Amino acid sequence: MHIWIGVEDFAKIERAKVCMDQYTLFVGPNNSGKTFLMQLIQGLSDKIVDFLEEDAMDILLAEQFEGYCKYVINQDNIGQLLAYINDKLNQKKEQLVREIFGREISIGKLYIDLELEEGIFYQIDLVDGKSLEIENIKKSKVLEEIPMDFLSIDRGTQWMSGFLSKRSSQEGTVDWISIAISAKGSALSAFRIVLRHILESDSLFLPASRTGLMLLYRDFFANRADDAVSYRVSDSGVVGSEGWYGGLTQPVYGFLRFLQTYFEKEENIAEYKKELDFFEDKVIEGHISVKKQGDFSYQAKDGSSTVPMYLASAMVNEVTPLVLALTSEKRYGRLIIDEVEASLHPQKQLEMARFLNRIHNKGMKLVLSTHSDTFVSKLNNLYVLSEQWKKQKKDAEKQFHVEPEDLISSETLFVYEFVFQDDGRSIVKEIVPDPKMGFKFDLFTKPAMELYEEALRIGENH
């Protein structure tokens, strides 16, 4: 499923509609709204399903009998579901913006768009524990068509099967999620849990100026207790807000909390081993160690002594959060990275483009912003190589020193340019690529040509 977020008259943005669950790149001048939109995506990513009530279940209900309900999201009802969600978003948009940014920001319209892949639908099965014993759920004839390779997870009041399992059926390919709830469970609560897996991703926002935040986050929490930055929003506005997350937006505060509460998970380190090895070898030329919670250090690959993070380079501090996000105890499905090229030498930007492609190809969703013509040129080259690879199977590894993991599909890469209008506001335009030449970045071409022409004029004066 592809998910877009759309806004109109939001802060400096006149209008925008961008993909938020694949591989998205923002380019544009300073103060055009890129960071605002990225933080809105982050803030909205875990709130969509909270708006759903029992009438949403009625839209998706496909089959029902005693102790069992089947819900389906398909081409026949996705329009109704979308209209329902957007009606809720329209009612709550001002409150959502206050919660995310900590202050009033104008917003005329907020909506999402959903698009199912061809031949794909989602099926959700709810089973009432009063009608079926939990121990016999897998053996039940009611559920005989449900994949048996799921793991039931006791969440106190619900029993939930594992995540998505793609299976073929006569109707197409189904992303099948099954849920069984106990007698104490709420059908709506279980329904929301499943839809959260479909419509939302556990997301982490990595703000710009990560070096400063890496070095100072401990002091932030040492000097400001959580209760001093908490707030409550009522229908009449903000109540008891002393600091609005200490003067930060909710996504930035969430990043600091991530650093403060970080724990490694061996399973995630093992899963991303190949990508992390590439990162250490090509990007930071060293290794990030975590001795205890919040105690990060860096060792260069030449074997020199290990140094605490505050003595490491700005480049290492800027990119370390990417390593932490992949190896964290909490598993993230999307990274939103502001100014992804910050503090990176141009050569390292080339390797960073390859690394990001690799983790995306491993399943990580990405939303990035950049001001670097070097980074976008490399990403563009890898896109064009990907198109050639599909058609001709060229030996890109030998000719261009890339591997299949570096390539990026045109079906998942979306590029958007923020363009200023005469009134100082911006509109967001999707850059449609040419399969042979890739993406045309007018934003970077113009200053490059101005410098070239200036150099020619200087040379003519000698």
Across the range 24-47, mean pLDDT stands at 94
Q: What is the pLDDT of residue 206?
A: 96
In a domain, 226, yes or no: yes
Which has more pLDDT, 215 or 341? 341
Last residue within a domain, chosen from 199, 218, 237: 199
* Residue/partner pairs of 267-273 with CB below 8 Å, 24 or more apart: 268/326, 268/327, 268/328, 268/329, 268/331, 269/327, 271/362, 272/326, 272/327, 272/359, 272/362
Residue 219 token pair: 């002091």
Taking 70 as the threshold, does the pLDDT of residue 243 lie above it? no
Verify that 223 and 195 share a domain, yes or no: no
Query: Is the torsion defined by CA of 365, 11, 447, 416 positive or negative?
Result: positive
Whether 330 and 360 have beta carbons less than 8 Å apart is answered as no
Across the range 130-157, mean pLDDT stands at 44
Whether 72 and 121 have beta carbons less than 8 Å apart is answered as yes
Q: What is the pLDDT of residue 250?
A: 92
CB atoms within 10 A of CB 17: 15
How far is the C-alpha of 247 from the C-alpha of 43, rounded, in Å?
A: 16
CATH number of the domain to which 367 belongs: 3.40.50
- Coil, helix or strand at residue 455: helix
Whether 214 and 320 have beta carbons less than 8 Å apart is answered as yes
Taking 90 as the threshold, does the pLDDT of residue 133 lie above it? no
Model confidence over 58-75: pLDDT tens digits?
Answer: 999 988 877 778 888 889
Which has more pLDDT, 304 or 2? 2
pTM: predicted TM-score of the whole model, two decimal places: 0.85
Across the range 386-414, mean pLDDT stands at 78
What DSSP assignment string belongs to 301-324? Answer: TT-PPPEEGGGS-HHHHHHHHHHH
Verify that 394 and 281 share a domain, yes or no: yes
Whether 433 and 415 have beta carbons less than 8 Å apart is answered as yes
Verify that 256 and 268 share a domain, yes or no: yes
Across the range 339-359, mean pLDDT stands at 95
Taking 70 as the threshold, does the pLDDT of residue 236 lie above it? no
Last residue within a domain, chosen from 199, 230, 260: 199
Residue among 320, 133, 148 nearest 217 (CA): 320
In a domain, 146, yes or no: yes
In a domain, 87, yes or no: no
Verify that 230 and 251 share a domain, yes or no: yes
Across the range 155-172, mean pLDDT stands at 47
Q: For residue 157, what pLDDT band results from cuts at 50, 70 and 90? A: very low
How far is the C-alpha of 208 from the C-alpha of 229, rounded, in Å?
A: 22
Q: What is the pLDDT of residue 212?
A: 79
Verify that 252 and 227 share a domain, yes or no: yes
Cα angle, residue 426 at apex, residues 425 and 428 outer, rounded to 5° = 160
In a domain, 105, yes or no: no
Verify that 32 and 132 share a domain, yes or no: no
How far is the C-alpha of 422 from the C-alpha of 369, rounded, in Å?
A: 23
- Buried/exposed code over 242-261 (b: 16+ C-beta within 10 A; e: otherwise): eebbbebbbbbbbbbebbee
- Coil, helix or strand at residue 148: coil
Verify that 319 and 209 share a domain, yes or no: yes
- Coil, helix or strand at residue 266: helix
Give the chain's domain count. Answer: 2
Q: For residue 147, what pLDDT band results from cuts at 50, 70 and 90? A: very low
How far is the C-alpha of 60 from the C-alpha of 370, rounded, in Å?
A: 40
CB atoms within 10 A of CB 36: 21
Last residue within a domain, chosen from 152, 183, 199: 199
Whether 294 and 218 have beta carbons less than 8 Å apart is answered as yes
Verify that 162 and 296 share a domain, yes or no: no
Verify that 288 and 150 share a domain, yes or no: no
Q: What is the pLDDT of residue 197?
A: 76
In a domain, 94, yes or no: no
Pairing mode, if any, of strands 237-239 and 232-234?
antiparallel
In a domain, 107, yes or no: no
Q: Which domain holds residue 342?
A: 2-46+203-460
Phi and psi (nearest 5°) for 153? -115, 120
Verify that 126 and 214 share a domain, yes or no: no
Verify that 59 and 35 share a domain, yes or no: no
How far is the C-alpha of 104 from the C-alpha of 34, rounded, in Å?
A: 18
Please provide the average confidence, as pLDDT, over all residues in the chain.
Answer: 81
Whether 408 and 379 have beta carbons less than 8 Å apart is answered as yes
Verify that 349 and 369 share a domain, yes or no: yes
Q: Identify any residues that bridge with 34 across adjacent strands, giving them in sequence order.
A: none
Q: In 265-412, where does DSSP find H-type helix? A: 266-271, 273-278, 314-327, 346-361, 373-392, 396-400
Model confidence over 435-459: pLDDT tens digits?
Answer: 788 888 877 877 877 887 888 888 8
Q: Which residues contact 163 (CB under 8 A, 6 or more apart)?
A: 177, 197
In a domain, 424, yes or no: yes
In a domain, 92, yes or no: no
Which has more pLDDT, 126 or 373? 373
